[in-house]
């Protein structure tokens, strides 16, 4: 019974942010196996088949910015599945880096969700919108911090990712790092990030 009592005490002492943490919009990104492609050229992009994608583009079977039934482009799939050669090819065809899929995600957000850092680096180098938000108002930085991806976080910060954007849970990337108590916290401090007032409620 003392165990149950201590558990209830811990729960009651949690902040509202901590209590709703399990329902965070960051907690359940679409699994890669469920990010399925429809159509040969889109499947080729998932598989990293540069030759097949290039031939389809050269023959005019698909435009570089054409979408499938889920509003996903070749770039979305190349970034989600981690094929930098395809990303480079598509950029050489002047693809739009910031088109949104049915989740309102850009290719950069997909690269961050699925930890495809090389693809993200290419996108950032070519001017992808680092602060684009998805349907839950999460940025690529929110996902990098959620997954404790310190190198991705550093890369996004170098490209001026905004640390003050709040998602639908009202969490900034800084708050996410504090709640997760992960290594990304030090990166924000290194950037002299302003620790938000909410930090006091999180035990800081």
For residue 6, the model assigns a pLDDT of 45
CA–CA dist 171, 25 (Å, integer):
10
Closest by CA to 26, choosing from 191, 200, 168, is 168
CATH superfamily assigned to domain 28-129? Ankyrin repeat-containing domain (1.25.40.20)
Which pLDDT tens digit goes with each residue over 4-52?
444 444 444 555 455 455 556 776 666 788 888 989 999 999 999 999 9
Q: What pLDDT is recorded for position 50? A: 98
Query: Average per-residue pLDDT in the chain?
Result: 85
* Contact by Cβ (8 Å): 148, 184: yes
The per-residue pLDDT for 34 is 84
Q: What is the value of pTM for the model shown? A: 0.83
- Mean pLDDT on 143-164: 94
Name the residue ranges covered by the structural domains of the chain: 28-129, 130-204
pLDDT-based confidence at residue 191 (cuts at 50, 70, 90): low
Cβ neighbours of 94 (radius 10 Å): 9
The number of C-alpha atoms within 13 Å of 121 and in the hemisphere containing its C-beta is 11
Measure Cα distances from 198 to 1, 16, 170, 175 in Å.
33, 10, 10, 7
> Does 87 score more than 60 pLDDT?
yes
Domain 130-204 in this protein, CATH class: mainly alpha
Q: What is the mean pLDDT of residues 72-88?
A: 98
Which range (29-33, 104-108, 118-122) has the least confidence?
29-33
Q: Which of 141, 66, 77 has the alpha carbon at shortest distance from 109?
A: 141
């Amino acid at each position: 019974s003392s165990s149950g009592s201590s558990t209830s005490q811990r729960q009651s002492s949690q902040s509202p942010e901590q209590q709703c943490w399990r329902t965070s919009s960051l907690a359940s990104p679409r699994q890669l196996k469920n990010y399925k492609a429809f159509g040969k050229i889109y499947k080729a992009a998932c598989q990293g088949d540069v030759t097949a994608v290039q031939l389809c583009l050269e023959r005019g079977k698909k435009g570089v910015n054409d979408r499938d039934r889920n509003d996903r482009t070749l770039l979305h799939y190349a970034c989600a599945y981690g094929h930098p050669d395809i990303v480079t090819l598509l950029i050489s065809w002047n693809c739009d880096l910031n088109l949104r899929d049915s989740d309102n995600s850009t290719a950069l957000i997909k690269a961050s969700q699925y930890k495809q850092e090389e693809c993200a680096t290419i996108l950032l180098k070519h001017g992808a919108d680092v602060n684009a938000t998805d349907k839950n108002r999460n940025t690529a930085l929110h996902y990098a911090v959620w997954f404790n991806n310190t190198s991705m976080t550093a890369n996004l910060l170098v490209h001026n990712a905004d640390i003050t954007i709040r998602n639908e849970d009202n969490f900034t990337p800084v708050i996410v790092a504090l709640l997760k108590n992960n290594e990304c916290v030090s990166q924000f401090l290194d950037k002299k990030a302003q620790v938000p007032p909410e930090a006091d409620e999180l035990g800081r």
